[in-house]
Chains A and B, each alone.
Chain A
Amino acid sequence: MIYRPPLMMDYSVAGVNTKLSTIAEICYTISSNFVVTETLRTPSSKLLQADTPTNTDTVEGKEIQKKKREREKEMVLQLVMAPNWCGCGVASANSTKISTNAFKMSSNRFNFSKPYPGRAYRVTAYYSLTTPPYELDALEPYMSKRTVEIHWGKHHNEHVERLNKHLKTSAFYGHTLEEMVKATYNNGSPLVEFNDSSSVWSHDFFWESMQPNGGSMPKGGVLDQIKKDFGTFTNFKDEFTFAALSIFGPGWVWLYLKKNERKLAVAPTQNAISPLVWGDIPIIGLDMWEHAYYLDYKDDRSAYVNNFLDHLVSWHSVMVRMMRAEAFVNLGEPKIPVA
């Protein structure tokens, strides 16, 4: 009897976004009568094969059996000890044989997901909820702890869980989040994974767009760029606020860098859309869905936006994002500082 492993058993999960923490569970297909033979590199290789038991009546047979056991123990230990066993190029051997005995011997160490003997498993790596870079009450009084708790712990979390549910059967499994957002937007006819993947990305971006004691003015190059593209800093704030309040229904407002024109701009978007879908680089994202402000501001959206700009927005994040954007957009000759 040959068992064919499911297609998703690709250990080279190179597409996983290393910025996010991943939960990877490795389990092996085992069965009391079969030996698992898989390569760590290519999924299309060896299948589960029946193990012809070695005849241990002869001395030779005993030797072979002993060697088999030794090798299996070694392989299992190697697997277990391998630092990056999620598969990113580690493959310590071309093939790994694990018999049930070897498995049992190392079952204490190899118990990543409490395996039930005889049950089939597969490797899957999913996204998990990233944590805001500050404590949940750090944004008080402009964003209450209650809002952050519910917005992050319930809404953002729900999107992550729904995304993972989609990924179980999606062709986009293994993509980075940014790739997935762009691909599932499908030029305006979004696929089912778009909403959740874009929401997860946008919310990660949102928490990092804020900091305790944020707001006030940016400095240096960021301020110069804003002045160049908006005239004055106040103009930028006015444009940002106007865009935020102009959204009909749920949406986001973004400060983003236009790649082609090499300038900053402000744009509102509907539902979960972000500048990623049209290929530009987001620099600030503000969630204008009602759940983001209703508990603190009720219907007073302008107070919410003003407080965000004056007290919450993290210009440090903006600077880092602009620096990263320089890798993709030629913002000019680098200024090498003279000591």
Chain B
Amino acid sequence: MALRSVVSRKTLAPALRHYRSLTTFTLPDLPYDYGALEPAISGEIMRLHHQKHHQTYVTNYNKALEQLDAAVSKGDAKGVVQLQSALKFNGGGHVNHSIFWQNLKPVSEGGGEPPHGALGWAIDKDFGSLEALVKKINSEGAALQGSGWVWLALDKEQKILKVETTPNQDPLVTKGVSLVPLLGVDVWEHAYYLQYKNVRPDYLTNIWKVINWKYASEVYEKESA
């Protein structure tokens, strides 16, 4: 009995100290094969993009979260602030790429099919036509200097669709808290270089063949409800 109380006290103490466990993230699986998006995006690019780049973001994000946890419990304000850029970069990379894999679909499973329903009408209302929207996203993507993302966003407050760009791995919310990403196009060089080399406009023209408008419509209908 005495032994048990000693044991229970020992087990209680750590349980009290670490009552909050750290959630770590894992690399999500692709809902299609690496080569399924050919010839718009090559299998080699998809494999590297998913297994190397996205995995690195996940790994480093987890590391940063652990460091953040330690800094928070220690009350190290300077440490917490110093970690913010690593969190934004790696966390943003994880968030953005997770959306990106959903935004793509093989042609055989409906990739490239134009949006119907509510999203289709909203596009016509806010941009004139799907072609005009595609043209706008392509021009913003091509003009982006350095690395970043181009987004088709829904502004929940203003109830309007917008095209936004974010630099590096900044998630869309950095451009506005009421923005919801419907489609994101990765214009980092690793997303297209092996296949298209420096010709980013060709990549942007071709990616529309595998864009998953169904996912975008679902998100739109859910968020604008």
Bind each other: yes
Q: Does B146 contact A (CB under 8 A)?
A: yes
A248 touches B197 (CB 8 A): no
B198 touches A298 (CB 8 A): no
Contacts of B168 in A (CB 8 A): 248-249
Q: Does A306 contact B (CB under 8 A)?
A: no
Bitwise interface map of B from 48 to 62 toward A, beta carbon under 8 Å scored 1, else 0: 100011001000000
Contacts of B146 in A (CB 8 A): 249-250, 271, 289
The residue on B at minimum CB distance from A298 is B48
The residue on B at minimum CB distance from A290 is B189
CB distance from B93 to the nearest CB of A (A): 9
Bitwise interface map of A from 239 to 260 toward B, beta carbon under 8 Å scored 1, else 0: 0000000001110000000000
B197 touches A150 (CB 8 A): yes
Given contacts A248-B169, A249-B168, contact A294 B189 (CB under 8 A): yes
Q: How many of chain B's residues touch chain A, expressed as a range? A: 20 to 34
Contacts of B193 in A (CB 8 A): 290-291, 294-295
- CB-contact partner of B194 in A154, A248, A294, under 8 A: A294
Q: Which among A155, A248, A289 has the greatest number of chain B C-beta atoms within 10 A?
A: A248
Q: Does A195 contact B (CB under 8 A)?
A: yes
B89 touches A248 (CB 8 A): yes
* Docked CA distance A289–B86 (Å): 18
Q: Does B147 contact A (CB under 8 A)?
A: yes
B169 touches A295 (CB 8 A): no
A291 touches B189 (CB 8 A): yes
B85 touches A248 (CB 8 A): yes
Contacts of B11 in A (CB 8 A): none
Contacts of B167 in A (CB 8 A): 249
Q: Does A70 contact B (CB under 8 A)?
A: no
CB distance from A279 to the nearest CB of B (A): 23
* Docked CA distance A141–B71 (Å): 44
* Docked CA distance A190–B67 (Å): 34
* Docked CA distance A250–B148 (Å): 10
B194 touches A295 (CB 8 A): yes
The residue on A at minimum CB distance from B86 is A248
Q: Does A178 contact B (CB under 8 A)?
A: no
B48 touches A249 (CB 8 A): no
Bitwise interface map of A from 288 to 312 toward B, beta carbon under 8 Å scored 1, else 0: 0111001100110000000000000
Q: Does B63 contact A (CB under 8 A)?
A: no
A150 touches B89 (CB 8 A): no
Q: Does B190 contact A (CB under 8 A)?
A: yes
B188 touches A154 (CB 8 A): no
Contacts of B197 in A (CB 8 A): 150, 154, 295
The residue on B at minimum CB distance from A146 is B197
Q: Does B8 contact A (CB under 8 A)?
A: no
Bitwise interface map of B from 189 to 225 toward A, beta carbon under 8 Å scored 1, else 0: 1100110011000000000000000000000000000
CB distance from A172 to the nearest CB of B (A): 18
Given contacts A248-B89, A248-B169, A249-B167, contact A299 B190 (CB under 8 A): yes
Given contacts A295-B193, A299-B52, A299-B53, contact A154 B147 (CB under 8 A): no
* Docked CA distance A152–B29 (Å): 37
B48 touches A299 (CB 8 A): yes
* Docked CA distance A195–B89 (Å): 22
CB distance from A101 to the nearest CB of B (A): 49
Q: Does B5 contact A (CB under 8 A)?
A: no
* Docked CA distance A271–B189 (Å): 13
The residue on A at minimum CB distance from B188 is A290
Q: Does B145 contact A (CB under 8 A)?
A: yes
Within 8 A of A (CB), among B161-180: 167-169
B48 touches A290 (CB 8 A): no
* Docked CA distance A291–B193 (Å): 7
The residue on A at minimum CB distance from B189 is A290
The 10 A-B pairs at the shortest CB distance, nearest first, are namely A290-B189, A249-B168, A248-B89, A154-B198, A299-B52, A294-B193, A250-B146, A271-B146, A249-B147, A250-B147
Residue ranges of B at the interface with A (Cβ–Cβ < 8 Å): 48, 52-53, 56, 85-86, 89, 145-147, 167-169, 188-190, 193-194, 197-198
Given contacts A248-B85, A249-B167, A289-B146, 15 further A-B contacts (CB under 8 A): A154-B197, A154-B198, A248-B89, A248-B168, A249-B89, A249-B147, A249-B169, A250-B146, A250-B147, A271-B146, A290-B188, A290-B190, A291-B189, A294-B194, A295-B197
Q: List 30 A-B contacts (CB under 8 A).
A: A150-B197, A154-B197, A155-B198, A158-B198, A248-B86, A248-B89, A248-B169, A249-B89, A249-B147, A249-B167, A249-B168, A250-B146, A250-B147, A250-B189, A271-B146, A289-B189, A290-B147, A290-B188, A290-B189, A290-B190, A291-B189, A291-B193, A294-B189, A294-B190, A294-B193, A294-B194, A295-B194, A298-B194, A299-B56, A299-B190
